Amino acid sequence: MSFSSVSPRGRFVTLPPVTEVDGVSDFLSQAPGVDEKELLAGLQRGDEAAFAALVDRYAGPMLRVASTYVRDRAVAEEVVQETWIGVLRGIEGFEGRSSLKTWLFRILTNRAKTRSAQENRSVPFSALPGSAGELDEPAVDADRFFGAGHPERPGWWALPPSPWQDSSPEQRLFGREARVAIAEAISALPERQREVIALRDVEGWSSSEVCETLNLSAANQRLLLHRARSKVRSRLERLLTQGISA
């Protein structure tokens, strides 16, 4: 096994605590490579502090991404555990051709997909095989626009959206209900759309990181992201419009 030569040497790295102080987390997320190399080397040497630091950095995002595949919180935690075991198994052979983060999340999404496939055998709606015409679905229901035969404004809004901030109290927009609605909308998405929005918008990854992790072209990534965002928006619109008429 890879870590047999470990000795009781001192702690290898001490990470500063990640606080919410101005820009600290921004800095980390924009420069993930800052000490990733050190952590990786520590991990390959079997250093527990390096392992713990990586767990603390990535386990939260990993759990949230896993939760977009499997509903059950306990199963999502298992997926995270299995991923780290996969990491320990593979770390010796990891050559750093991709970033550690990309590699980690590739293992994670593969594990999560397997578990989700098992889980979904009993969940009818997600079991629908990649709903027909997935890539042709419009961002907005066609009946919100004037038809092609309209004399003056074909293709323009017949039922335009109304601004949210004017009609919805802030707490409704950013409150728990909205978060639940978003999470539900995401978990009901076709798999590829769900993967892309989870990494791009929930976790805030760059498009190139997402393309690398999910092996997508930039154009395809944008298309999937657009479908996903459009559906989440539409779900929120339903929630917020209900609020107005209630």
Partner 1 sequence: MTGSGVLTCKELVELITDYLEGALEPRERARFEEHIDTCDGCIAYLDQFRQTIRMTGALSEESLSPQARKDLLETFRFWQRN
Q: What is the DSSP letter of 157?
A: B
160 is an interface residue for partner 1 by CB under 8 A: yes
CB 187 within 8 A of CB 71: yes
Based on the shown chain and the rule CB under 8 A, indicate whether residue 230 belongs to the binding site for partner 1: yes
Q: Is 205 in the site for partner 1 (CB under 8 A)?
A: no
Q: Is 178 in the site for partner 1 (CB under 8 A)?
A: yes
Say whether residue 81 binds partner 1 (CB under 8 A): yes
Among 35, 36, 38, 77, binds partner 1 (CB under 8 A): 77
Q: Kindly state whether residue 138 participates in binding partner 1, applying the rule CB under 8 A.
A: yes
Give the whole-angstrom CA distance, residue 61 versus residue 67.
10
Closest CB 234 distance from partner 1, rounded Å: 9
State how far the alpha carbon of 171 is from the alpha carbons of 233, 237, 240, 242, in Å: 17, 15, 11, 15
Q: State how far the Cα of 54 lies from the Cα of 236, in Å rounded to an integer.
A: 35
What is the closest distance, in whole angstroms, from the C-beta atom of residue 121 to partner 1 in the complex? 25
Show the DSSP H helices in the chain as ranges. 24-30, 36-45, 48-67, 73-90, 100-120, 124-127, 164-167, 170-174, 176-187, 191-197, 207-214, 218-245
Regarding 145 and contact with partner 1 (CB under 8 A), the answer is yes
Nearer to partner 1, 129 or 163 (CB): 163
Measuring CA to CA, how many Å separate 208 from each of 41, 57, 218?
A: 25, 20, 7
Closest distance to partner 1 from the beta carbon of 12 (Å) = 14
- How far is residue 61's CA from residue 16's CA, in Å, rounded to a whole number? 19
Contact (Cβ atoms closer than 8 angstroms) between residue 101 and residue 32: yes
Looking at the Cβ atoms of 121 and 176, the one nearer to partner 1 is 176
Which positions from 3 to 22 touch partner 1 by CB under 8 A, shown as an x/- string? xx-x----------------
Examine residue 179 and tell whether it contacts partner 1 (CB under 8 A). Answer: yes
Give the list of residues 6+ apart from residue 164 with CB closer than 8 angstroms, or none. 173, 236, 240
Judged by the rule CB under 8 A, the positions of this chain that interact with partner 1 are: 1, 3-4, 6, 46, 48, 51-52, 55-56, 59-60, 63-64, 67, 77, 80-81, 84-85, 88, 138-140, 142, 145, 154-157, 160-165, 173-174, 178-179, 182-183, 186, 197, 201-202, 204, 207, 218-219, 222, 225-226, 229-230, 232-233, 236-237
